Amino acid sequence: MSRIGKQPVTVPDGVEVSVSGQTVEVKGPKDTKSFTFTDDVNVTVEDGQVTVSPRGPSKRARQQWGMTRTVVANMVHGAKDTFKKELEIQGVGYRAQVQGNTLKLNLGLSHDVDFPIPDGITITAPKPTELVVEGTNKQQVGEVAANIRDWRRPEPYKGKGIRYKGEYIFQKEGKKK
């Protein structure tokens, strides 16, 4: 029995959820999204709640049950609010700035990195060493933040690089003489 799948998703005010066939459509003030789920699960909307249930006892149905519920919950949240990931840049001379639809990263490489900002994502740099990635799609926000972080991952000796805000980097001890 899925602990995640059996919890209903509450629909906040201002958000509409409709199910037609194998497609869930969510409309809200921020965004409109649709998701096509597999035929292994049932999705119903009743009394301002979305419930997901498996159609059979198969392993695939149980896998899809929790995943479908989570995707629907993220769509409902994204239709009302935005998802946000905050990144910190640490290192001498490492900095970032947003220029139009491009993020310029100076990370100690022989050239500046020009990262094109995808549609549906907004990136702001309140300080040259901080980045905020926002959007209505949780998967896309996480993927963009991970792609930015991959340009210079935090290294374990000095801690230089791009890290998520609040992320702990285990510091290794250097060589001893």
Domain boundaries of the chain, sorted by first residue: 9-80, 83-164
9-80 matches 83-164 in fold = yes
- In whole angstroms, give the CA distance from residue 50 to residue 48: 7
Phi-psi region of 100 (alpha: psi -120 to 50; beta: other; left: phi over 0): left
CATH for the stretch 9-80: 3.90.930.12
Mean pLDDT of 5-16: 90
What is the pLDDT, as a whole number, of residue 176?
Answer: 85
Cβ–Cβ under 8 Å, residues 132 and 84: yes
The CATH H-level (homologous superfamily) assignment of domain 83-164 is Ribosomal protein L6 (3.90.930.12)
With 90 as the cut, is the pLDDT of residue 31 above it?
no
pLDDT of 1 reads: 63
Instruction: Note the pLDDT of residue 144.
Output: 96
| Average of per-residue pLDDT across 137-153 | 95
Contact by Cβ (8 Å): 163, 149: yes
Please tell me whether the overall predicted TM-score, pTM, comes out greater than 0.85 for this model: yes
Nearest to 87 by CA among 111, 60, 67, 115: 115
Residues 6+ apart with CB under 8 A from 93: 106, 108
